[in-house]
A and B are shown apart, each in its own frame.
Chain A
């Protein structure tokens, strides 16, 4: 548990309930996305895995950027939260290099992954993130982080294991997913602290959950729109 004394324990609990429910709905939704459905059914093709990495990369490359922008939009009184955002951006902003290396290890063309535009869902997700990060004091974005970090903590490793079993590729093709599986648990501990600091009333709790809901839907859209650029 977090060492931060929450300003409004009831609002913080409501935010945690809302986030848990967003997560449950997201998992239901993801299981219906064609590429994830094939992964879960053991019917993934290597082209699917390469497409997945190619399509994820265009959004991951911007992860450090929107978190940095959110940090710069946090005004006076949010110093501790801003420090967390800055550390988080620093930890994540070169992640896409892992992803590119995995794509190449899976037989992908390096020039293609660096030049392919975002798919339609990634465009929407990225535009939403930068829009939200540009608002004054965008503490609701913690909801977006919850979704993105949750994907890493809860799904990345099982997905990597399933894909490797089906495709027989070397470990070098899965370091991006596995890194998140191993480290996003720490990030979520940090997230618990940030949430306890940020949720000072019921309005902010609602805002955090709303950001999570929008982000979860757009993340799913990104996977639904694979290769639709």
Chain B
């Protein structure tokens, strides 16, 4: 295998930043009770601004694929190769514009590139690691010389009141079920892109991908984050397709995006355990990490995480953490790429530094870690 490098990055965040007071102007007001819960969730996640791909009337002019393509165009404006040199495209998202076909087809069409190989990775946040690993291995194996990786999310389309009204997700007093309400205040929209090549960029810094480790723990966890599945009060889950009609599936709340925030606590030791495995196997030393790029959103878990990491000798000092969560929001499968884009453009990297990326996914519990080295040609 040959080395592969991230040689360019790009991002697209739709519209102006929206502060906490402005959220309901975009995703709408469901009920006073839902607004109260929102303030509580915002205190916990500490996000101050985010972006939405719909205006104050809930009208949108973009799509997941278009946002992905916009991020790719931002990247191409700074890349050292022609768009036509790209022969591989890997995408990551929690939900493409439609259930069929995959997002990569849509991004390919929007970009207007010649025929190329594609891979559409669909999961939740960690689909970013799946797409990046796909691109890295394609380039490292010599199959492609330029792979474009795109992550894009349009979560806010699920959050408008019209997606809850007259469904089982909302009760007679107008209260949303907690697993649905939580995400309204957590997720927002945008896209990020990376370019992977078998050589570092000539101008500026690149990131050599040393390894990517991705592991699922669905053997012991029930689904924690769901879309397209109706969840009854007794916990029973029914896929949308098992309802007698599409209208009935919608009434039962199958098209609500949900997350059981309480299940995160049980996943935390498993996510950290993976880091411990990588340390024990000698793939990363905690002291060598200059930048810890962790996609996280649950501040309430922070204390427990520090306790577990510290006693296992795996605590990376907080001054080495890099985040843009508070300004750019939690953009799911796009977050890792938005983080790397900001870090590369921050002017704070120097050649030889080691970056450890972490993307935990609560969907049904998985985690991806990646080690990268900053290189200068």
Using an 8 Å CB-CB cutoff, how does the interface string of A178-198 with B read, 1 for contact, 0 for none? Answer: 000000000000001000000
In the bound complex, do residue B273 and residue A24 qualify as a contact, i.e. CB atoms below 8 Å apart?
A: yes
In the bound complex, do residue B307 and residue A14 qualify as a contact, i.e. CB atoms below 8 Å apart?
A: no
B269 to chain A, nearest CB (A): 6
In the bound complex, do residue B313 and residue A10 qualify as a contact, i.e. CB atoms below 8 Å apart?
A: yes
Q: Contact partner of B310 among A1, A27, A30, A40, CB < 8 A?
A: A1
Which of chain B's residues 288-320 have a Cβ closer than 8 Å to chain A? 307-308, 310-314
Hey, which chain A residues are within 8 Å of B313, CB to CB?
9-10, 12-14, 16-17
Q: Is the interface of B mostly helix, strand, loop or mixed?
A: helix
Q: How large is the interface on B (under 10, 10 to 19, 20 to 34, 35 or more residues)?
A: 20 to 34
Hey, which chain A residues are within 8 Å of B272, CB to CB?
20
Residue A18 interfacial (CB < 8 Å): yes
Q: Contact partner of B219 among A1, A20, A31, A192, CB < 8 A?
A: A31
In the bound complex, do residue A16 and residue B312 qualify as a contact, i.e. CB atoms below 8 Å apart?
A: yes
In the bound complex, do residue A23 and residue B269 qualify as a contact, i.e. CB atoms below 8 Å apart?
A: yes
Residue A115 interfacial (CB < 8 Å): no
Hey, which chain B residues are within 8 Å of A21, CB to CB?
273, 276-277, 280
Which of chain B's residues 230-271 have a Cβ closer than 8 Å to chain A? 266, 269-270
Residue B2 interfacial (CB < 8 Å): no
In the bound complex, do residue A28 and residue B311 qualify as a contact, i.e. CB atoms below 8 Å apart?
A: no
Which of chain A's residues 12-63 have a Cβ closer than 8 Å to chain B? 12-14, 16-18, 20-21, 23-24, 27-28, 30-32, 40
Using an 8 Å CB-CB cutoff, how does the interface string of B219-231 with A read, 1 for contact, 0 for none? Answer: 1101000000000
Give the distance in Å from the alpha carbon of A14 to the alpha carbon of B312 in the complex: 6
Given the contacts A23-B273, A24-B269, A13 and B314 also touching, CB distance less than 8 Å: yes
Using an 8 Å CB-CB cutoff, how does the interface string of A57-82 with B read, 1 for contact, 0 for none? Answer: 00000000000000000000000000
In the bound complex, do residue B280 and residue A18 qualify as a contact, i.e. CB atoms below 8 Å apart?
A: yes
Q: List 11 A-B contacts (CB under 8 A).
A: A9-B313, A14-B280, A14-B313, A16-B313, A17-B312, A17-B314, A21-B280, A23-B273, A24-B217, A31-B220, A40-B220
Query: Chain B residue with minimal CB distance to A30?
Result: B220
B279 to chain A, nearest CB (A): 6
Hey, which chain A residues are within 8 Å of B273, CB to CB?
20-21, 23-24
Q: Is the interface of A mostly helix, strand, loop or mixed?
A: helix
Give the distance in Å from the alpha carbon of A27 to the alpha carbon of B269 in the complex: 11
Which of chain A's residues 66-123 have a Cβ closer than 8 Å to chain B? none
Hey, which chain B residues are within 8 Å of A12, CB to CB?
311, 313
In the bound complex, do residue A28 and residue B219 qualify as a contact, i.e. CB atoms below 8 Å apart?
A: yes
Given the contacts A13-B311, A13-B314, A20 and B220 also touching, CB distance less than 8 Å: no
In the bound complex, do residue A192 and residue B280 qualify as a contact, i.e. CB atoms below 8 Å apart?
A: no
In the bound complex, do residue B269 and residue A20 qualify as a contact, i.e. CB atoms below 8 Å apart?
A: yes
Given the contacts A17-B279, A21-B273, A1 and B307 also touching, CB distance less than 8 Å: yes
Which one of B272, B313, B314 has the highest number of Cβ atoms from chain A below 10 Å of its Cβ? B313
Hey, which chain B residues are within 8 Å of A192, CB to CB?
311
Give the distance in Å from the alpha carbon of A21 to the alpha carbon of B277 in the complex: 7
Q: Could you list 18 further interchain pairs (A-B, Cβ under 8 angstroms) beyond the known A21-B280, A28-B219?
A: A1-B310, A1-B311, A12-B311, A13-B312, A16-B311, A16-B313, A17-B280, A17-B312, A17-B314, A18-B280, A20-B312, A23-B273, A24-B217, A24-B273, A31-B220, A32-B219, A40-B222, A192-B311
In the bound complex, do residue B310 and residue A20 qualify as a contact, i.e. CB atoms below 8 Å apart?
A: no
In the bound complex, do residue B307 and residue A20 qualify as a contact, i.e. CB atoms below 8 Å apart?
A: no
A157 to chain B, nearest CB (A): 11
In the bound complex, do residue B220 and residue A28 qualify as a contact, i.e. CB atoms below 8 Å apart?
A: yes
Which 7 residue pairs are nearest across A and B when measured between Cβ atoms? A13-B313, A17-B276, A16-B312, A24-B273, A31-B220, A17-B312, A20-B273
Hey, which chain B residues are within 8 Å of A31, CB to CB?
219-220
Using an 8 Å CB-CB cutoff, how does the interface string of B334-366 with A read, 1 for contact, 0 for none? Answer: 000000000000000000000000000000000
Give the distance in Å from the alpha carbon of A32 to the alpha carbon of B218 in the complex: 12
In the bound complex, do residue A27 and residue B220 qualify as a contact, i.e. CB atoms below 8 Å apart?
A: yes
Which one of B266, B270, B276, B314 has the highest number of Cβ atoms from chain A below 10 Å of its Cβ? B276
Which one of A21, A23, A154 has the highest number of Cβ atoms from chain B below 10 Å of its Cβ? A21
Hey, which chain A residues are within 8 Å of B280, CB to CB?
14, 17-18, 21
Give the distance in Å from the alpha carbon of A12 to the alpha carbon of B222 in the complex: 33
A186 to chain B, nearest CB (A): 15
B202 to chain A, nearest CB (A): 41
Hey, which chain B residues are within 8 Å of A23, CB to CB?
269, 273
Hey, which chain A residues are within 8 Å of B314, CB to CB?
13, 17
Give the distance in Å from the alpha carbon of A13 to the alpha carbon of B308 in the complex: 10
Which of chain B's residues 176-204 have a Cβ closer than 8 Å to chain A? none
Hey, which chain A residues are within 8 Å of B266, CB to CB?
154
Hey, which chain B residues are within 8 Å of A9, CB to CB?
313
Give the distance in Å from the alpha carbon of A154 to the alpha carbon of B269 in the complex: 11
Give the distance in Å from the alpha carbon of A154 to the alpha carbon of B265 in the complex: 11
Give the distance in Å from the alpha carbon of A136 to the alpha carbon of B222 in the complex: 44
Give the distance in Å from the alpha carbon of A59 to the alpha carbon of B217 in the complex: 29
Give the distance in Å from the alpha carbon of A40 to the alpha carbon of B223 in the complex: 12
Which one of B266, B269, B273, B279 has the highest number of Cβ atoms from chain A below 10 Å of its Cβ? B273
Hey, which chain B residues are within 8 Å of A13, CB to CB?
311-314
Query: Chain B residue with minimal CB distance to A196?
Result: B311
Hey, which chain A residues are within 8 Å of B219, CB to CB?
28, 31-32
A158 to chain B, nearest CB (A): 8
Which one of A9, A12, A20, A27 has the highest number of Cβ atoms from chain B below 10 Å of its Cβ? A20
A188 to chain B, nearest CB (A): 11
Give the distance in Å from the alpha carbon of A10 to the alpha carbon of B313 in the complex: 7
Give the distance in Å from the alpha carbon of A23 to the alpha carbon of B269 in the complex: 9
Hey, which chain B residues are within 8 Å of A18, CB to CB?
280
